[in-house]
Amino acid sequence: MNKRTLLTPAFIDVLESGYINDPQVPGLSIHANRHGRRMWKYRRRIASSRDVLKLTLGLYPALTIADARACASKLNDQVEAGLDPRVVARAEEDRLRLTVAFAHERYMAAVREGRGSSAKKINKPRTIADKLAIYRRDIEPQLADTLIFEVTEKDLANLVLAKGKDSKVRANRLASELKVFFGWAASLRGTEINLPTNPAARLADLKFPETPRDRRLSLEEIGWYLRSVAIEPSHYQRGMLLWLLTAARISEVIFARRDEIEKDVWVVPPDRVKNRKAHRIPLGPWGRSLMTSHSEWLFPSPRTDGPLAPRGWYKARDRVLQRMAEFAGRPIPRWTPHDMRRTARSNTRRLNTDFETAEAMLNHAKCGLERIYDGYAMEDEKRRWFQIWEDEIIRIARAEMVADALGCPPAGDPLPQGSIASSPRCTGLQPLLDIAELEARAAPKFTGAAR
């Protein structure tokens, strides 16, 4: 058979067996079998290689002459460039699967293994949870199904700017997380994604100004706080007192386990501490009584096998804040659980505690060479401070007549002159005989302005 015969529909229709090479496009041919089926095939050696590419392109006439030639011409461009079209096709298929959702799943696996950032450290559970929360709240709804290669700097900038209209702090956190996520995808740590450029590289330029928090409770506010906490259920009462007595972060308190208590010391393990150094908190008698539990968790959930959910604690905070406004007869500036750390730290100088002890009490990391060479844990100094601070809070609780309701240790020596109990504000107070009566008595004083 003359294999140089021109390919025309008429000639192909009468082809019963054998094959015809297309004289116009190298490598393309049409084959006919004894059943009358006509198939387009492609065969050509890849440039600079010994590999011969053999492909079946499709049936005629479903694949027309023009379509077959177009397909073969595309294959020729790749073959003549030394590329294997099969490898190119697989790479394109992989590329089409690389959505933001797919890439983020791989990124979170790297985060859990300590490969999610240049810091190369294992992230704490809280950090992982925060990253997932940012993704699900701010990234997933807008970009989950978008190919990561098609995400532009403008897309990400619009996300951050839109978030900034509602919350500037959260917008800054979103920008930081986008920069880390896309930076990972564009780095050697994210070779499975192999993003050519990082579209989030300049998002730091959009950072919104943040005002550092300086909220701390005055001694008067601490009194209202203790009176308000006295009305809370036992588990929330214990936890909120520990916020104040231990100056620990809210996550360190509410996720505490019973096995973290070693005699009279609460040891917060490194994986739950911000600076990854175990935090030893010596407890006074009152603190030890607040840390008792018959469960694995210090504050177990009544519904699930785990601790009480953070949402419940913030609802309790809102209730306490409202009651404080009732007792004060005026609105009280909003405070957060973290402000209790600032409250305790702000009282260290007043209670004659040196700077090093105050910093150790908060488990702040040492700086410079001191961090390397000074390994002294200052546990004795911290023990003295926490006892002084506990005694001070007990004094205030007695002055507010809520010491028994809060489970304070029995009164010992009389309060010294000049303490809060002997101030004019504390005179004439009635003992707290009934908690429900106190709550009912305070309710009429409250106005909507305190919210």
- The residue with tokens 């702090």 is 169
Cβ(389)–Cβ(397) below 8 Å: no
- Helix, strand, coil content of the chain in percent (nearest 5): 50, 10, 40
Task: Tell me the pLDDT of the chain (451 aa) as tens digits.
Answer: 444 567 788 878 878 788 888 888 898 999 988 777 889 999 999 888 888 888 888 889 888 999 999 999 998 988 888 888 888 777 666 666 788 998 999 999 999 888 888 777 777 777 888 999 999 999 999 999 898 989 999 999 999 999 999 899 999 999 999 999 999 999 998 888 888 999 999 999 999 998 888 899 999 999 999 999 999 999 999 999 999 999 999 999 999 999 999 989 999 998 888 888 899 999 999 999 999 988 999 999 988 889 999 999 999 999 999 999 999 999 999 999 999 999 999 999 899 999 999 999 998 887 777 766 777 778 899 999 999 999 999 999 999 999 999 999 886 544 443 333 333 333 333 333 333 443 444 343 333 333 3
Q: What domains, with CATH codes, occur in the chain?
A: 9-86 (3.30.160.390), 98-206 (1.10.150.130), 219-450 (no CATH)
pLDDT of residue 417: 37
Q: Three-state SS for 207?
A: coil
Residues in the chain: 451
Predicted pLDDT of residue 246? 95
Sorted by sequence, the CB contacts under 8 Å of residue 259 that are 6+ apart come out as 296
What is the pLDDT, as a whole number, of residue 230? 96
Q: In 3D, which of 94, 76, 80 has the Cα closest to residue 25? A: 76
DSSP string, 293-339: -SSSBSSB-SSSSSBPPHHHHHHHHHHHHHHHHHHHTS------TTH
Q: How far apart (Å, rounded) are the C-alpha atoms in residues 445 and 438?
A: 12
Q: Which two structure tokens, joined as six digits, stand for 451?
A: 């919210």
**pLDDT reported for residue 411:** 64
Residue 87 three-state SS:
helix
For residue 346, what are its two tokens?
């702000």
pLDDT at 194: 85
| Structure-block tokens of residue 15 | 């082809």
- Structural contact between residues 386 and 246, judged by C-beta atoms closer than 8 angstroms: yes
> In terms of DSSP H, where are the helices of 122-230?
125-134, 140-143, 153-166, 168-185, 219-229
According to DSSP, the residues that pair with 147 across neighbouring strands are 99
DSSP H helices in 336-426: 339-346, 355-361, 368-373, 379-399
Q: Are 311 and 408 in contact (CB under 8 A)?
A: no
Residue 180's pLDDT is 94
Interatomic CA distance for residues 238 and 407, integer angstroms: 9
Task: Quickly tell me which residue has 């499709």 as its tokens.
Answer: 58
* Residue 4 CA: distances (Å) to CA of 10, 29, 363: 15, 11, 86
353: number of Cβ within 10 Å: 19
* Separation of alpha carbons 281 and 260, rounded Å: 11
pLDDT digits (tens, 9 = 90+) for 161-178: 999 998 999 999 999 999
